[in-house]
Amino acid sequence: MNIIMEVQNIAKQYNAKKVLDNISFSIYSEEIVALVGKNGSGKSTLLKIIGGIEECDFGEVIKYVPTLKIGYVPEVAPSHVFFTPEEYLFHMGKISGLSKQSLQQKINDLFILFNMNEARSTRMNQLSKGMKQKIMIMQAMLEDTKLLILDEPLSGLDPRAQHDLENTLLSLKENGYSIILTCHETKLLENVVDRVLLIQGGRVLQMASEPIIQSNQLVFELPNKNSIDEFLPLIQIKQIRTLYNGNQELTVTVSKTDTDKILLAVLQSNASIKQLIPLNPKKEQFDTYF
C-alpha cells in the first residue's frame, strides 16, 4: 500500500471557535478509512477540506500523485426527480466537460460496477435511498476519481441497503479505489473499514498505527493458579490484549509477527497451548477499541 495523500497540520475555526486543531494523517491506496466522532466534532469540515470544498486556516493537504482526482459525496439526497440515473449522470458529466463518447463508456462501466444496470432507466424519484446514494457516488466517479470522500453514506439506509452499499464499497476498494468516510455508528463499519480515525476535541486519534494488523489469539493453560505472575514477565512482547479467566487459562492476542516469540516463551515455561486462532484483522481492531 502506498500513501496517496497526506493531511498535514490542518487547523480550522469558525467564528473564533476552534473546530480542527493541528490534524495530520495519511491516506493509503486501496484502503477504507472511517472518521468517527460525536456530532459537531468536525468530521464534515475535515472531509470538505480534504475534498477542496472548504479552505483551512492552517496546514495543507498534499497529494502524492499530482493527478489524483478526488470525488466528494455530501450527505444530501438528490432531488433530480425527472431524470433517470443514466440521464442524470450524462448531464452531470457534460457539465464537467467530459466528451460524449468517454462519458457513455464510463457510465456503462459504473452501472456494472455498482450492480445498477437494471435501474438505469428508472426515474430517480422511484429509486430507494440506497440506490440514490449509489448514483451520487457514481457521479463523483465520472472523472477518473481514485479517492472517494463520503459523508455519512450509510445514514438513513435500512439494514439491507446498508449491507448492499458496504459490499459496493468493498468492491470499489478491490478495484483500486481509496475511500474516506464518516459514520456515527461504528458497528456498521466492522465489515468494511481498514482504519478508524477518531476526532475528539479538534484532534485526530489514530486508532491503529498500521492499516492492517494481522494477529493471532493464543490460549494457554497455566501450570497452576499462582503462575500468572511468573508467566506474564515471560511474555514481554507487545500484546494487543491479555485476558486471564482467574483460573488457569490465559488468552493473549499478539500480532502475527510476534506469535513465534510468544510460543517460544511458552515452551520455556510449564504452560501448555490450548488454542491458536488467526483473527480477522478488521474485527480485531474494532473489538479492541470499541
Which chain residues interact with ligand ADP by CB under 6 A?
A: 14, 19, 37, 39-45
Of 23 and 103, which CB lies nearer to ligand ADP in the complex structure? 23
Decide: 34 and 47 in contact? Cβ < 8 Å.
no
Q: Which positions ≥6 away from 185 have C-beta within 8 Å?
A: 154
Min dist. Cβ of residue 54 to ligand ADP (A): 8
Min dist. Cβ of residue 22 to ligand ADP (A): 16
Give the Cα separation of 240 and 159 in Å (integer): 31
Give the Cα separation of 124 and 179 in Å (integer): 25
Give the Cα separation of 2 and 64 in Å (integer): 9
Give the Cα separation of 19 and 71 in Å (integer): 23
Q: Which positions ≥6 away from 173 have C-beta within 8 Å?
A: 30, 31, 32, 179
Min dist. Cβ of residue 236 to ligand ADP (A): 40
Decide: 282 and 166 in contact? Cβ < 8 Å.
no
Tell me whether residue 11 is exposed, middle or buried, using C-beta atoms within 10 angstroms of its C-beta: 0 to 12, 13 to 18, 19 or more. middle
Min dist. Cβ of residue 168 to ligand ADP (A): 23
Of 103 and 198, which CB lies nearer to ligand ADP in the complex structure? 198
Of 42 and 153, which CB lies nearer to ligand ADP in the complex structure? 42
Backbone angles phi, psi at 106, to 5 degrees: -60, -45
Task: Kindly report the length of the chain.
Answer: 290
Of 93 and 202, which CB lies nearer to ligand ADP in the complex structure? 202
Of 34 and 131, which CB lies nearer to ligand ADP in the complex structure? 34
Min dist. Cβ of residue 40 to ligand ADP (A): 4
Of 19 and 89, which CB lies nearer to ligand ADP in the complex structure? 19
Distance (Å) of CA 58 to CA 15, 23, 24: 15, 10, 12
Min dist. Cβ of residue 35 to ligand ADP (A): 8
Min dist. Cβ of residue 182 to ligand ADP (A): 6
Of 136 and 142, which CB lies nearer to ligand ADP in the complex structure? 136
